[in-house]
Amino acid sequence: MLERVALGQSRFMTPGVAPDPRGVLLGRYGLLLFPTLEGVVSWFRLYSAEATLDELLPELEIHQARTPLGSREMLLRIPAASSYAMDRAARCAKLVGGATYTGTSKHFVKYRDDRSPYGYDAAEIHALAKGADLMVHGLDFTQTYAREGQLPFDRLLFRLSLRRVPGGLDLGPEERSELVLVVARGLGDGVIRYLWRNRVTTELGLVRPQTASAFGGSGSEPSYMLMRVRDLPARILELFAATPGIEVFRWVAPQVAVQVGFAHVIGLSSCASVFDASRVYLFWGRAGHAGRPEPRAGHAGRGGRGGRERAGRDADREERHDRVDIIQGPLELSSIEHFTRVHIAAEEVRAEGVLDSEPVAEVGVRIELAPSLAPPRHVVGSLIPLAQRDMLKRLVYFLPQTSLHGHRVAITDRGILVITTEDIDVVPLGQLLAEMAPGLLVPLGMDLVPRVAPAVLAQAVGHEAGMLTIFPHRDTPFQVPESALMPLERRALARIEVETATPLDTRLPPGDDPTVVNEPVGSFALWGFSGPPTRS
């Protein structure tokens, strides 16, 4: 039997309980009872959608318990950090058919409800029967339980099957900002070329994961290619999702990815502490073709009806192959640009008796300008057409002395090249140029494709130290030596014609002696002369 707790009550029969700051009776733990394991999973599903499980995991325990009558129930013990957390846990448990109790050690009383807002206290406390581990006190009953086994939370998490999400392939731009591709090794070259042609930022590596099956089995899987792609277009996502040998995953936690089109029953982002930070976890929702041999054709048809039934079971097993691939970290991936060839010159091979009618063609990739996906670079120069030189002349009159001193200019047949220092803005004329590597200048907002390493690009165009290489819009690149650059303040001034002045002889002719005459000026010489008298 239970008694209602009153506000301000300080003495209780149940050991290990006390009122919290709100006056609600709480023990150290909360005890949730469910008839089956399905109720426990349903509670985790509801609670993880509203709050994080990481706060509960350090002291969370899942037990299978037996009553004196031999029936079995599931016990879920969680830490009672506050009455707010217990209110949420009790509400979720009530929705899935569970009951909520609170206590500390062996005696647990019913948690508060609408009939008793501050909780319940046991009217009498009896010693536990032999073999019993705990006792729960309900409104009109008491029940003892004996623990039979404990189920670790991580084991339960990895054994749960993923559920299919309707419209799971309809990912928004933010969800497609970073995805993971699992590609069979035989399809690797083709997928790399396809992603490169579509200018998808990709990093890839070859991994051999350890697989944890949904039903407890584990083992080593064949190696496959792991690709991390960014901003994958929706059309390519749909193509890859329908291609055997390619599986697409999306990140749900820093080290956890789930196959696109599926979702885990429990919110994996709410229990991130379960996963090792040095590993990567891939949750599969269906059979992966990557790294697995294809079934032999005609094998399912042998054996008549029995063969078809076996084929159906195999197909269902292939369709719902629940497993988790664990990849040892740290995950080291290389950029896709290192797997493409910038220029390959085929050697001329001739066989005896074959006429040299056609030369051997070269195989290579042209270097082109393309819109950049990287953040804007700092503007370091400008290429001004010769037709705008008058505008540059007029602009010079408005530039301060510091800007004139900080700019360098070279006049070429391709235009006027203006280069500035890091702390001064360039003149707003012509094509603004940004520096993608020392001495390699491209138009602002553009990038060179293929995106090879700067050293490889410099070697391909013959770029050297002390030289500027410019890649203008819709024109061939050209080079200007840095020695041709002159300060703008020197080039700004036109040639000034300076005439020579003739000095004049101001000396008096000889023989004329100068004379000095002193005339009387009166007592008030500085007052000037008075005007004529006025008539009144």
On average, the pLDDT of the chain sits at 81
Residue 217 has pLDDT above 60, yes or no: no
Residue 316 has pLDDT above 50, yes or no: no
Residue 5 in tokens: 């707790």
**Cβ(393)–Cβ(429) below 8 Å:** no
Residue 246 has pLDDT above 70, yes or no: yes
Residue 398 has pLDDT above 60, yes or no: yes
Letter string b/e over residues 371-396, b meaning 16 or more CB atoms within 10 A of that residue's CB: ebeeeebeebbbbbeeeeeeebeebb
DSSP-derived pairing of the beta strands 178-183 and 246-253: antiparallel
Residue 20 has pLDDT above 50, yes or no: yes
What do you get for the CA distance between the two ends of the chain, in Å?
A: 130
- Compute the average pLDDT of residues 357-385: 70
Q: Which residues are bridge partners to 72 per DSSP?
A: 66
**pTM (two decimals):** 0.58
Letter string b/e over residues 79-113, b meaning 16 or more CB atoms within 10 A of that residue's CB: bbeebebbeebbebbeebebbbbbbbeebbbbbbe
| Residue 297 CB burial class (10 angstroms; 0-12, 13-18, ≥19) | exposed
pLDDT band, residue 349 (cuts 50/70/90): very low
pLDDT at 499 (0 to 100): 78
Residue 532 has pLDDT above 70, yes or no: no
The whole-angstrom separation of Cα 163 and Cα 304 is 33
Least confident of 80-84, 196-200, 426-430: 426-430
Residue 399 in tokens: 């530039």
pLDDT at 247 (0 to 100): 94
Residue 282 in tokens: 């891939």
pLDDT band, residue 301 (cuts 50/70/90): very low
Residue 311 has pLDDT above 50, yes or no: no
Neighbours of 6 (CB within 10 A): 11
Q: Spell out the domain ranges in the chain.
A: 2-151, 157-292+311-334, 368-492
Which amino acid type is present at position 464? E
The whole-angstrom separation of Cα 110 and Cα 43 is 18
pLDDT band, residue 347 (cuts 50/70/90): very low
Q: Element (H or E) spanning 364, and its range?
A: strand 363-364
Least confident of 245-259, 272-286, 479-493: 479-493
pLDDT at 422 (0 to 100): 62
Residue 85 in tokens: 């957390």
Residue 180 has pLDDT above 80, yes or no: yes
pLDDT at 248 (0 to 100): 94
- Compute the average pLDDT of residues 384-406: 76
pLDDT at 494 (0 to 100): 59
Half-sphere exposure of residue 427, counting CA atoms within 13 Å on the CB side?
30
pLDDT at 184 (0 to 100): 93
pLDDT band, residue 33 (cuts 50/70/90): very high
| pLDDT > 70 in the chain, percent | 79
pLDDT at 446 (0 to 100): 82
| Residue 123 CB burial class (10 angstroms; 0-12, 13-18, ≥19) | exposed
Neighbours of 160 (CB within 10 A): 16
Residue 236 in tokens: 């390519």
Neighbours of 147 (CB within 10 A): 14
- Compute the average pLDDT of residues 116-138: 91
pLDDT at 58 (0 to 100): 92
